[in-house]
Structure 1
Amino acid sequence: PANSNCDDGSSSTTKTNTSLLSSRDNDGDDSQFQIIHGNALRILTNVGESRFGFDRIYIGAAVVDDADILMLKQLLAPGGILVGPVNDELVKVVRISPVMTTMTMEDSSDGNQGINSTNTTSEDDFSTRVISGVCFAPLTKFPAIQVTIPTIIWNPTLNHKIFPDSFQNAIMELFLCSNADYLQSSSQHHHPSISVTRRNNRLNYNDGGVNLAATLPRDIWIHIFGFTHRKWFEPKESELTFLKKRLLEEQARTAIAQQARIEAETKCHVAERERNIYRILARRWRTQLHTAFEQSTYTTNNESSREVRVHRTAGLGTFLQQQIHFDNMDERDDHYFEQDDDDDDD
């Protein structure tokens, strides 16, 4: 897995597409800052520091095209992590390079079959997880300038602290051995590789040996280590170690999925309970509205009936008044005609 202490200046070089910069160490040393001006979408993946991959890549703007995110994935070292916005989602990408052991049978010279084990690496696999939804401005594609991230050359005074612990420990051990005596006594030898003596043209590991680190001056060793990269002293990962790591990762993912399932079920139960409450409230409101509507209709009908009765009563009174008026007129006419008859008689 990637070393958490490996805050390589170039491992953070894809933060933005115009200014690429690493983090500062605790001592406040600015020597490990490295700013590269260019286009993050045009980084060459097969030259410079990109050949070895980066442990961490953080993207500060949205990646829109699939080809661009694929190129950025290729910059990851095995076990490296990329975090950044892709379209409208903040994603976390982990590069996984499975190590597979291939067993082949070989015939030896004496006719016996032997087993030859060779380690092969299958196609790279990437684990992608969506963290949340985000809204970022996209990375600009112009100017389309190809960018080469230069390889970091180790120097004991300039950038020793930014190299991984495995590299620093190996350098320290070798320099300590280079300061020791060339001939080692039996009480001083700690490792067969540096405690070898030649007696009668045969190697002897029991007596004192020679210190091979002391065969070259310190300046020569510094020059030699300038040709190495930051992962030079990292041990090769065996299949068993890889399977254990993958098992732990799968267990962690299973635990996360289980927790997510429990949270989803809890939210579902809460939503169902709220739905039932809202249904009850909706039924009550419907009943109340129906009752209020019926009461309003009944009141309106009663008022209409009362108005009809009033109009009918008023009409009857008018009719009676008119009838009385007509009767009075008839009486006056009769009285008038009676007087005319009397006058005629006279």
Structure 2
Amino acid sequence: MTAMKALLCVEPGTLQLTERPRPEAKPGHVRVRIGHIGICGTDYHIYGGHQPFLAYPRVMGHELSGRALDASVDGRIREGDLVVINPYLTCGTCRACANGKPNCCENIAVLGVHTDGGMCEEIVVPEGNLYPADGLSEKAAAMVEFLAIGAHGVARARIRPGSTALVVGAGPIGLGAALFAAIDGAKVTLRDTSADRLELARKVLPDATVELVGQETPGAYDTVFDATGNIHAMNAGLNWVGHGGAYVLLSVVKGDLAFADPEFHKRETTLFASRNALKSDFEHVMACMRDGRVPVDALATHETSLEDAAKNLPLWANDRGTLVKAIIHV
């Protein structure tokens, strides 16, 4: 069996381009030649040693696109097709899976986190985790997964056209939520502590209102999305929810949520957790990309090769205010 290149996080702070055997085909699985990989905040956390549920060494990477090297048994995927990889490996039998919510499977494993991911030349995944990406570029297809996270949160909120939405945190996930809230017809405000991130947000969403934390405009919103990754911001976000409104938590952090019960009740607040994404979210993102409603070029701010990623990823991990999404091409 021939070898392939893979970028390995040997331990926190150490990346190594190495060689390993190409994966073998399995029944019900499809081999994919990886073309492009989005670098996620999770990857930066793994590199920095801040991902608690991970065993090193690990091949990172879960924002993936590539070309199928086999056809799927069900006929959806043909050899050579461009595909988006859904990185959530689920059991199919737990309560959540049985209820049509595999995004929160009780036994979920995520490529690049719980098992080796796609920062390599080839990967083998269950055929049900592959979605045809006809009409997209490989680079755009590698951004579908992170955008689907935000799209899933927006779908949970069931936004009304003409309503107001506040997104706190203008990183990639927050920008995705803002984009799809706007696509659903909301008047969007983006808020962040970084002027640099807000400047990038203006390029992605020129019609949105952007506000620096500390200089924000008073007011309440029909829907508030938290994408800060900060428990203090998550606890404070209820204050921005209008009466009868919804609060959607896209961030997952250690800590306790603590709201004043009278404030929560008098608003009759609807509180949503939002985790991962469903097939329908992936498909919605791809449809919006095909329609030109997603500014792909404004989102893909940085690019590198698999060979140079070991040099560039550490630099970007320490300077994430100047990028939205970095893409590795293989």
Structure 1 length as normaliser, TM-score? 0.20
Q: Which has the larger radius of gyration?
A: 1
TM-score by length of 2: 0.21
More strand by share: 2
Q: Which has the higher contact order (CA 8 A, sep 6+)?
A: 2
